[in-house]
């Protein structure tokens, strides 16, 4: 869902602008451009020398562990390039691959094309048990070192692992840290960026009964030294169209719990209010939406709020973000 312009205003000088909400087909939204000068880019490999997240899979830490690193290369599946875990299979010529890829290659060795059979490479499995390696996000700041078979579990929850792009308008494969993703949203997705923790938006849609193509919009707010994503969209819930707004925190779940937000929509003496902690962008946009964790406005209520002849949607959504703390001034919005 897009808008003509979006104005984030303080509670002192409220300026309200109308925003026309067009339709967008999420499956045909163009993919963003990938700026080669950033630290991270698409999860697809590049061949121009640009650093990308694929490179972190080969991070093995300082040179002091080079012997272990060379052994670690032996434990890399030649098909998927991921680390192999038991059962590790081999062909009659000694070529190895992981159990998942054994099925994918239809039981044929990808190196020599011989039939694989059910031969286990027990020696390599034993070698793996003796290894201790750093987290593959070592160069992103993780200081931890783990036994080989514990490393994979840690990497799935490592707080230094890159984030997925929070943009909901396309299947964007870009990953990176928060500063990179903020620049990516601004430059590649042309998302509106605002400083401040209060907002007052008025959304206008000429035909509110048409939601066959999901409508969406995204605004990024910078306050309290953090970044937040405000989503507003229409989608089909059962047989009826609904409108939904929610906020996600650009950071981990533990940090997200330090903040709260409220959203309010209403008119004609009625109002709906939603108050919650923001979800982390570790949770996908679809996961948050499908869990209905946000302000949901049924179409009939939205049209009632719009007034007039009920043929045009006009919703005023206001909200604020605050930090949870004991300080009585905690709810003050300090521009960054």
pLDDT tens, position by position, 93-115: 889 988 889 888 888 898 898 88
Cα(82)–Cα(85) distance, integer angstroms: 9
Q: Which CATH superfamily is domain 71-130 in?
A: Zinc/RING finger domain, C3HC4 (zinc finger) (3.30.40.10)
Quote the distance between the C-alpha of residue 124 and its chain's center: 36
Give the mean model confidence (pLDDT) for residues 216-245.
Answer: 87
Whether residue 110 contacts residue 97, with contact meaning beta carbons closer than 8 Å, is answered with yes
Say if residue 263's pLDDT is above 90.
yes
Cα(48)–Cα(325) distance, integer angstroms: 47
Return the number of other C-beta atoms located less than 10 Å from residue 64's C-beta.
Answer: 8
Say if residue 18's pLDDT is above 80.
no
DSSP state of 136: T
Where do runs of H (alpha helix) occur along the chain?
A: 66-74, 99-104, 122-129, 148-155, 178-187, 253-256, 285-290, 299-306
28: which 2 tokens?
A: 């045909």
331: which 2 tokens?
A: 């709810």
Using CA of residue 31, residue 37, residue 42, residue 45, what is the dihedral sign? positive
* Sequence-ordered list of residues with C-beta below 8 angstroms from that of 180, at least 6 positions apart, any chain: 38, 39, 40
CATH topology assigned to domain 163-323: 2.60.210
What residue ranges in 9-122 does DSSP mark as E strands?
A: 18-20, 88-90, 96-98
> What does the pLDDT read at residue 24?
41
Say if residue 64's pLDDT is above 90.
no
Say if residue 34's pLDDT is above 80.
no
**Predicted TM-score of the model (pTM):** 0.65
Find the distance separating the first CA and the last CA of the chain, reported in whole Å: 27
pLDDT tens string 294-333: 999 988 888 888 876 667 778 889 999 999 875 545 445 5
3-state secondary structure of 142: coil
């Amino acid at each position: 869902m897009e808008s003509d312009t979006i104005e984030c205003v303080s509670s002192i000088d409220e300026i309200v602008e109308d925003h026309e909400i067009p339709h967008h087909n999420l499956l045909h939204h163009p993919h963003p451009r990938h700026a080669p000068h950033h630290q991270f880019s698409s999860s697809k490999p590049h061949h121009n020398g640009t650093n990308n997240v694929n490179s972190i899979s080969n991070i093995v830490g300082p040179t002091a562990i080079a012997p272990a690193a060379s052994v670690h290369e032996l434990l890399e599946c030649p098909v998927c390039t991921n680390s192999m875990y038991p059962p590790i299979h081999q062909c009659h010529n000694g070529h190895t691959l992981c159990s998942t890829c054994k099925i994918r290659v239809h039981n044929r060795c990808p190196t020599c094309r011989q039939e694989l059979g059910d031969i286990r490479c027990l020696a390599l499995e034993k070698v793996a048990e003796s290894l201790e390696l750093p987290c593959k996000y070592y160069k992103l700041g993780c200081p931890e070192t783990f036994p080989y078979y514990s490393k994979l579990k840690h990497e799935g929850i490592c707080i230094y692992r890159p984030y997925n792009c929070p943009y909901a308008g396309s299947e964007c494969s870009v990953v990176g840290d928060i500063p990179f993703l903020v620049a990516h949203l601004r430059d590649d997705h042309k998302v509106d960026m605002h400083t401040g923790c209060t907002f007052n938006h008025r959304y206008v849609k000429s035909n509110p009964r048409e939601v066959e193509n999901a409508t969406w919009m995204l605004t990024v707010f910078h306050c309290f030294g953090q970044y937040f994503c405000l989503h507003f969209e229409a989608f089909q819930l059962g047989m009826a169209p609904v409108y939904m707004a929610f906020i996600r925190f650009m950071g981990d779940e533990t940090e997200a719990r330090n903040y709260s937000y409220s959203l309010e929509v209403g008119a004609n003496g009625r109002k709906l209010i939603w108050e919650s902690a923001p979800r982390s962008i570790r949770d996908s946009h679809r996961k948050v939406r499908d869990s209905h964790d946000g302000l949901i406005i049924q179409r009939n209520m939205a049209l009632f709020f719009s007034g007039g002849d009920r043929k045009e949607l006009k919703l005023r959504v206001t909200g604020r973000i605050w930090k949870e703390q004991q300080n009585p001034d905690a709810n003050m919005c300090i521009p960054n």
